[in-house]
Amino acid sequence: MSILQRRSGRSTAEDPNAFRLLIEPTGTATVVAVHGELDIATVDGLRSALGVVTNDRFAHLVVDLAGATFVDSVGVGAILHAKQRLGDTGRLAIVVAPESYAQVIFEVVGVDAVLAIFPTRAEALAYLGA
């Protein structure tokens, strides 16, 4: 399943910051991949996708932010809410590109201490055993 949203009338080929969200079942995990800017204008798409996945409290979830060009605090909040919804039985891994804006915001906010963060999707999936 995939979800596509745009911030403006421009296509994603014209605007690398245009928001796209892809949901990809992968073995025993689900990957929610974010591309473009994740902010107050686009976070509802992420919240909806995470809500669908976290309805199954035994879910293994990867939020892949490697393609995100910007992440603000509402995006971080949506991810933390998903972790809470998964409870103790679900597992969550985050993919953040090294030296990206997303990595900086996760470090500044301090959530890198409570979330399993990896530089690649393969490492995140391996952590989940998927």
Q: Could you please report the per-residue DSSP string of 56-84? A: STT-EEEEEEEEEEEE-HHHHHHHHHHHH
Q: What is the pLDDT of residues 96-109, one digit of tens each?
A: 988 888 889 898 98
Q: What is the pLDDT of residues 106-125, one digit of tens each?
A: 989 888 888 999 999 999 99
The phi, psi pair for 86, rounded to 5°, reads -70, -25
Q: What is the pLDDT of residues 84-97, one digit of tens each?
A: 988 877 899 999 98
Label residue 122 exposed, middle or buried (CB < 10 Å: 0-12, 13-18, 19+): exposed
- Collect all residues with Cβ–Cβ distance below 8 Å to 40 and sequence separation of at least 6: 72, 74
Q: How many domains, in total, are found in the chain?
A: 1
Indicate if the alpha-carbon torsion angle 52, 123, 95, 81 is positive or negative.
positive
The pTM assigned to this predicted structure is 0.85
Range of the domain at 7: 2-128
Q: Are 19 and 37 in contact (CB under 8 A)?
A: yes
Looking at residue 7, which CATH number applies to its domain?
3.30.750.24
Query: In this structure, what DSSP letter does residue 34 have?
Result: E
SS3 state at 116: strand
SS3 state at 12: coil
